Amino acid sequence: MNTINLNISGMTCDHCASTIESAISKVAGVDSVKVSYAKKLAQVTVKPETDLNVETLLKSVQAAGYNAELNSAALHDTQSLALPATVKSDNKPLNIIIIGSGSAAFAAALEAKDMGAQVTMIEAGTIGGTCVNVGCVPSKIMIRAAQMAHQQAHHPFSGIETHVPSIDRAKLVVQQQARVDALRHEKYESILESNPEINLVKGRARFKDANTVIVTKEDGAKQIMTADRFLIATGRTPVLPPIAGLADTPYWTSTTALIATEIPQHLIVLGASVVAVEIAQAFLRLGAKVTILARSTLLSQEDPDIADGLQQALVGEGMVILTHAIVGQVKHEDNLFHLTVGDRIISGTQLFVAAGRTPNTTDLGLETIEVNMSSQAEIIIDAQMRSSLPNIFAAGDCTTLPQYVYVAAASGKTAACNMAGSEASLDLLAMPAVIFTDPQVATVGLTEQQAQAQGLKVESRKLGLENVPRALANFDTTGFIKIVAEKETGRIVGVQILAAEASEMIQTAVLAIRHRMTVQKLTQELFPYLTMVEGLKLCALTFFKDVKQLSCCAG
């Protein structure tokens, strides 16, 4: 048997060593493994005549959240190892087909290419997927522009004159789309140009069997393609709820709303989740009257304090929010939308439908090859991104994973590692989530209600931003910070923030949860003054004392 020694970095305790041992032991071909926290070393014994290379071991450690490199003193032990996992017994590279070209697809393609696989990417539409084209990038540009307009008309500083700016929405869209085009080329198209190992095929793929897809080109021509492994990364598109008359009206989805060149006089928003509230507030700040119709409550999946706090802020800006509003019918007459809500009619000049997104899986022929699907048409995957068929993997929004671009990219990379023979998994214990309203919403871990539902005994503290010196200096104290911690140990299990800069604060909380910090330990860390993130330390202090009785920096 061969022994491989790896230098490990990033461990903070013996529990980390156990975690790495578990990750490496799952790699096919590993006979035994011993990790020493004290020596920062992993000793891996490899079974004889196994198809395992050092790169696969390094990837398994990285997937567990740590860093590893080959111990130079052990290089001679690796020379007799078999071919890399991406090279088959017939000396040909592993052949991987990826359906889709978004973040998950590109992350997987680059990872698989680096491991020596032959990669083909199939895309029916625009290269780059949702985020860069019709999601994250254009929406954040629009939101930022709307914030600039709002601050000119509404700011708290008495020595600076306020004024309502004139807004040319068409010019804003031209600038926005120019940046979208530039980023798509820089981050997607140019990557294909500079990586000839990744072959792009334009067309729509459909499975003929578990090893074969038929690609239909724009001109109707068909191409049959086979592969050793497949990755489905087709994303999602906006869903249309089954409301009478809706399909026959010129409604907006998020895709059309983001490139609309005119600001509607009265925008009705059907939906009250992330996309709905972000774009609704942007149009409000650009000059539209906005009414949100929430089927239940605003941000119903979030901590109730978050939802209530954001609703108060939005209503304070002039937005109308109707909760528990069930729309029975939609009509479009005389350039107006008329929505029947109970016994009343809500009318507006434009309707934005933001009622969720549905997976792009219905036209792939997955029913033919019997891939297991959820009731929502999502591909069911295990921790290694495998579907119910061993050679077919899935990643990103078309699966049951949380719908965030960074989760999609991480899942794509994980899938690539496992297609090459590793046993990497995706750890979402400390997954941040951000809603780019103003104030922003940023969360990580469990809410108090979620923790209790899991049987954890927890307590929480909520600190209003009037207790954060930087918020006072900004003359903006809208919002709060909440920390959820185990009662007995003080270990932080969740953080929820409602603040203008919550998105920039949350990563500190992510690291605290990732490294199993307690509220007491957090209070002992040094935070720069004046910063908003100092509020996390102040909130942690409220578990032990009244922060109102502390001087500045005295925590």
Q: Is 20 exposed, middle or buried (0-12, 13-18, 19+ CB in 10 A)?
A: buried
Q: Can 398 be counted among the known catalytic residues? A: no
- Other beta carbons within 10 angstroms of residue 529's beta carbon come to 11
Per annotation, catalytic residue among 11, 319, 532, 539: 11
Out of 16, 373, 419, 505, the active site residue is 16
Q: Looking up tokens 């008359």, which residue turns up?
A: 245
Question: Of the residues 1, 148, 529, 553, which is catalytic?
Answer: 553
Residue in 115, 121, 131, 517 annotated catalytic: 131
Q: Is 66 an annotated catalytic residue?
A: yes
Q: Is-catalytic flag, 539?
A: no
Backbone angles phi, psi at 337, to 5 degrees: -95, 135
Residue 49: alpha-carbon gap to chain centroid:
40
CA distance 209 to 305: 49
Can 553 be counted among the known catalytic residues?
yes
Q: CA 160, CA 357: separation in Å to the nearest integer?
A: 43
Tell me 379's DSSP state: B
Contact 398, 232 (CB under 8 A): yes
Distance CA 77, CA 537 (A): 48
Six-digit token pair at 150? Answer: 């709002």
Task: Tell me the C-alpha distance between 218 and 252, whole Å.
Answer: 26
Spot the catalytic one: 1, 13, 148, 529.
13
Is 404 catalytic? The answer is no
3-state SS class at 407? helix
Whether the CB-CB separation of 45 and 30 falls below 8 Å is answered with yes
Q: What single-letter amino acid sits at 326?
A: I
Q: Which residues are catalytic?
A: 11, 13, 16, 66, 131, 136, 552-553
